[in-house]
Structure 1
Amino acid sequence: MLNKLVEKILSLWNVKKEYRLKVFFLSLTFLFMSATQAIWRPLKNAIFAKTVGAIYVPDAKIYSLIFLIPLLLFYSKLVDWLRRHQLLYAFLIFHAIGCLVLYAFLIHPVYGLENTSIGVHRFVGWGMYFFMESFAAFMSMSFWSFADSINNPSDAKNYYGLFVAGSKIGSMITAGLLYLATNSISVSQDHIVLPKFLLIGCILLLCAAVSIYFMMKYVPGYHMHGYEAVYQLEKAKEKEAEKEAFSFKNMLKKPFEGLIVMIKNPYVLGIFGLVLFYEVTIVIVEYIVQIAADASHESAGSLTAYFASYYFIMNLVGLFITLFGTTPLLRLLGINKTLYIFPIITIGLIVLTIFNPSASMLFIDLVALRSLNYALNHPTREILYIPTTKAIKFKAKAWTDAFGGRFSKGIGSSLNIVMRKLAPVSFLMANLVVILGLMGCWLAVIPFLGNKLKKVVDEKKVIGEDVN
């Protein structure tokens, strides 16, 4: 019965019959995970602004790097200990438990939201921010590392758009519900309503874990190989590892293996460059919008409603792009040309903003950049990881995406801290010029990545097999 239902749904998007269960469960998993993020991110922004203060957002982004490094090292060890799907279980369960701890603090009459004082001493605001930064850093990376390891480039071009469509639908539903629940509540109800939505995210993460369980149970193993050349290489490496004698030096080196691979491999550094250019850009634009939003909303509830409406609109636009743009563009233009779309559109938006530097234009910029990234740029970038080794897909990816994303946000936040001393108009224009420079660098990196990917896939080789 389950098979027949899935077949009817996915036949509408021309999904091959043998891949329908896998595509369905991956889309469902990403739906639950993204639905959680659509609740938690507005809560993070609003609660931090109304406990610690929105002006400290750049500082929090920099401090979160310190919090993230030990998590990355531990994750690198988990890659050696656990199987691919078990890594996803570990991520989901860890953050579900963390959510319960945070909930206990948020409902506390002194430490939680019932206390409406604002200041740097409000550790619950800092804790909320760091926990959510951990979730945001590992959420996308954990899902896509797993998806990249069980799909080949052809599957990715055809089906990655469906995974993103699932995420957009989930995000729209939860962001919409969050908006409806917080749009009209009074300040006195914030401490009752907001923590309950935090718990909803916890439940959704457990649903994602159940979805992965059913996929592993019902999808045949031979449909989980992914890029065959990588699969065969990793099988051979596993056999060699079983024979390898214990080495204390290797034990110490293992947690940093991803960082070493990233530094040694120009291809991985190029992907890191794409992450850096995007994250610095979005941090600059988002900070400007956050400051304006905080000034115009008095309570955490009303500010949460504002951010929820933003995420709803962003995901609605993203869903439209996903259904009618992502898969058709990848099939029509190919991966190489599709990589150019995001920086070119960004340049166009920034030029328009220079001539019309209004609050509404900046909001349009933020919605457009986020939507394009999640719906088109991110899934296209993920295809670059498919013909790579497990060390790159999981360990190096943790450094390029999780740490690299937070590191890039730290750079963007440092720019915001330095430039916020300028007059508002000068601050805005200086940041827009920085973004144009980043997009120029982006356009310079794309040809190298696209040509390398094409060559490796054509020759049925693996990127990273020669890096020790």
Structure 2
Amino acid sequence: MPSMASFFLQRRFMISKFFDILWGHLSRDELRKFTLCSITFMLLVGSYWLLRVLKDALFDDLVGIVHQPKAKILSMIVIVPLVLIYTRLVDTVERHKLFFWICTSYSVLFSLILYCYTHPLQIFYTSFLPGNIIGWITYVSVESFGSLAIGLFWAFMASTTNTASAKRGYPMIYTIGQLGTIATTTMVTKVQFIGFTTLWAGASCAVFIVPFVIMLLLTTVPQETMQSNVKTNIQKKEKTGLFEGLRLLSTKPYLLGILVISTFYEVVVTIMEFQMKMLARQIYTTRETFAAFLGTYGQATNILAFAFALFGTGIIVRTFGVRFCLVMFPLVSGTIVSATLFNPSLSIIFAAAMITKALSYTLNNPVKELMYIPTSKDVKFKTKSWIEAFGARGSKGTGATVCAIFANDLPYLITFGTIASLSVISVWATVAFLVGTQYNRLIKEEKIIE
């Protein structure tokens, strides 16, 4: 028996060393913390990707994919009052209770949408919007969920994690989170067997579970492990206005830089994904086959993202630093987008969108979240909400505007959409270098943006 015990101890040591190589050494408390955070993130992004793919198929069924650019613009308008409500809640509600209010509200909303979709009524068809209004509500709801709920999670992480710990733990969170997205997008490829309503209901349940995992995190992880950088936590607790986040964003160049690196890639991805969907819609003509194609896209994207998160993100961030990663993403994206000009086929655009999307999840996003650590609470929760919600919606709206102009002319959409993407990337790469330089200076001098 001692030999058996020795065998398991040896294997445990090897696994521990493997994790150390991937993410760096994590203490026992850090491992517990980031494991629960990874489960939370997996539930959020897994349900979001499932709903994201299904909502495209549902929108096409009820309204028509050609109207998708207008839906993105509408979501940009609707997100403004939602962010104001969120900002108010930040001042009045404890962090863990924010998860309860937001996740429960969206879980109920998604359940109501499913009921209305499966019990159609004539009143759902209006004269002021094309098609069925449930399609428009679904699109806006899923888009806003992706901004607010996932944005809240990372604001929570930035307020409870120091810089050194984040460089080890964030790649772990993204790696495990990708397992959720791979699982859900794989389910979508089997939608004809599992059922559209079953998948949608499962996503609603996953969102509902999130607050309970957060409560488990807060009750089992020691308080000293749930601390951000010391200087960012020493602040007076005073209430600020609804537009405090917007004021900080408009007056701090560092935060404007975060806005650019957080959202400009959305312009590029929005254009490429719409090009891909328009090409795919000519081949996959039914709701189920189109949803399965989108599921395959999501599955491939997230498998690639998982592989990079597992073997690339942590090592690259720790080896080359934040600024290198910030600049690397737009340069790689520019190279990939350029390829679509020379061969604008479905397979090439599919691959380009897949690689860009995967890198956004596992290279740009983890590094972007590190940028919030040397900032105040108002920046982490209020400014971040404007960036993640309105900024992201604004970038998608910009990309959608380009798509809407050329929606009825596919060759022009591919040519001019790609040129617009390259123009955006040139600005994005320049800003990434500048904001990465300022981040390094803030960490070195132990200063914060407030």
Same fold (TM over 0.5): yes
Q: CA deviation at 1:295?
A: 2.6
Is contact 2:64-2:131 (8 Å) kept?
no
Paired residue secondary structure (1:121)? coil
The alpha carbon displacement at 1:10 in A equals 6.8
How far residue 215 of structure 1 moved from its aligned partner, in angstroms, is 0.5
CA offsets, 1:255-301, max 9 Å, x none? 11111111011111111112332111111101111112223223222
Alignment of 1:45-444 (within 5 A): 45-110=56-121, 120-182=130-192, 193-233=195-235, 237-238=236-237, 241=238, 254-420=241-407, 423-444=409-430
Q: CA deviation at 1:111?
A: 6.1
User: 2:131 & 2:359 partners in 1: Cα distance?
Assistant: 37
Hey, what does 1:23 align to over in structure 2? Answer: 34
What SS does the corresponding residue of 2:447 show, helix, strand or coil? coil
**Mind listing any 5+ residue stretches in structure 2 that lack a counterpart?**
1-11, 21-25
Could you tell me whether the CA contact under 8 Å between 1:49 and 1:294 is conserved in 2?
no
In the alignment, is the contact (CA less than 8 A) between 2:374 and 2:449 conserved in 1?
yes
Q: TM-score, normalised on structure 2?
A: 0.91
* Amino-acid identity (%): 27
Task: Kindly indicate whether the alpha-carbon contact (under 8 Å) linking 1:384 and 1:453 is maintained by their aligned counterparts in 2.
Answer: yes
Q: Which amino acid aligns with 2:81?
A: P
CA offset digits 1:373-430 (Å, max 9, x no partner): 0111111111111110111111001111111000111111111122335x53333121
Counterpart-to-counterpart distance in 1, 2:233 and 2:119: 50
The 1:375/1:285 distance shift into structure 2, 3 A limit, reads same
CA deviations 1:223-268 (Å, max 9, x no partner) are: 11111110122xxx11xx3xx8xxxxx6xxx111111111011111
Q: Deviations over 1:85-135 (max 9, x none)?
A: 22222221111111121121011044699x9xxx81311111111111111
Q: Aligned-pair distance for 1:28? A: 0.7
Q: Choose which of 25, 42, 45 in structure 2 pairs with 1:34.
A: 45
2: CA distance, partners of 1:276 / 1:258: 17
Contact persistence 1:10–1:24 (CA under 8 A):
no
CA contact (8 A) 2:262 2:365 kept: no
- Three-state SS of the structure 2 residue aligned to 1:255 is coil
Q: Distance in 1 between matches of 2:344 and 2:191?
A: 32
Structure 1, residues 325-360: CA drift from partner, whole Å, max 9, x if none? Answer: 100000110111111121111111122222222111
Question: Per-residue deviation at 1:207?
Answer: 2.5
1:121 alignment partner AA: G
Given candidates 422, 446, 449, the residue that maps to 1:460 is 446
Is contact 2:269–2:353 with CA below 8 Å preserved after alignment?
Answer: yes
SS at match of 1:76: helix
Contact 2:40 / 2:210 at 8 angstroms: preserved in 1? yes
Q: Does the CA-based 8 Å contact 2:162-2:229 persist in structure 1? A: yes
Q: Is the 8 A contact 2:276 2:346 kept in 1?
A: yes
Q: Measure, in 2, the Cα distance between the counterparts of 1:373 and 1:276.
A: 10
Provide the rounded CA distance (Å) in 2 between the counterparts of 1:223 and 1:180.
41
**Structure 1 CA distance, aligned partners of 2:322 and 2:247?**
27
Secondary structure of 1:352's match? helix
Work out whether residues 105 and 111 of structure 1, in 8 Å CA contact, stay in contact via their aligned partners in 2.
no
Whether contact under 8 Å (2:47, 2:206) holds in the other structure is yes
Name the amino acid aligned to 1:13: F
1:11 Cα deviation from its structure 2 partner: 7.0
Q: Provide Cα deviations, 1:40-63, integer angstroms capped at 9, x if missing partner.
A: 011110010111000000011111
Provide the C-alpha distance between the structure 1 equivalents of 2:170 and 2:148, rounded to a whole number of angstroms: 19
Q: Is the 8 A contact 1:84 1:146 kept in 2?
A: yes
Name the aligned partner's letter for residue 85 of structure 1. Answer: H
Q: Deviations over 1:12-65 (max 9, x none)?
A: 513222311111100110011111012101111001011100000001111112
**Corresponding pairs, count:** 431
Instruction: State the match for 2:19 in structure 1.
Output: 13
Q: TM-score, normalised by structure 1?
A: 0.88
How far apart in 2 are the matches of 1:121 and 1:336? 46
Question: Once the two structures are superposed, what CA deviation does each residue of 1:209-233 show, in whole Å capped at 9, x if it has no partner?
Answer: 2211110010011111111110122
2:70 match: secondary structure: helix
| 1:136-179 deviation digits (Å, cap 9, x = unpaired) | 22132111111111111211211111101111101111211221
The AA in structure 2 aligned to 1:176 is T
| Contact 1:38/1:308 (8 A) holds in 2 | no
Stretches of 4+ moved more than 4 A in 1?
A: 7-12
C-alpha contact 1:157 1:327 (8 A) present in aligned 2: yes
| Stretches of structure 1 lacking an aligned partner (at least 5 in a row) | 1-6, 186-192, 245-249
| Aligned equivalents of 1:318, 1:60: Cα separation in 2 | 27
User: For 1:91 and 1:295, how far apart are their aligned partners in 2?
Assistant: 38
Change (3 A) 1:65 1:10: farther
What is the RMSD of the two structures over their aligned residues, measured on CA atoms? 2.1
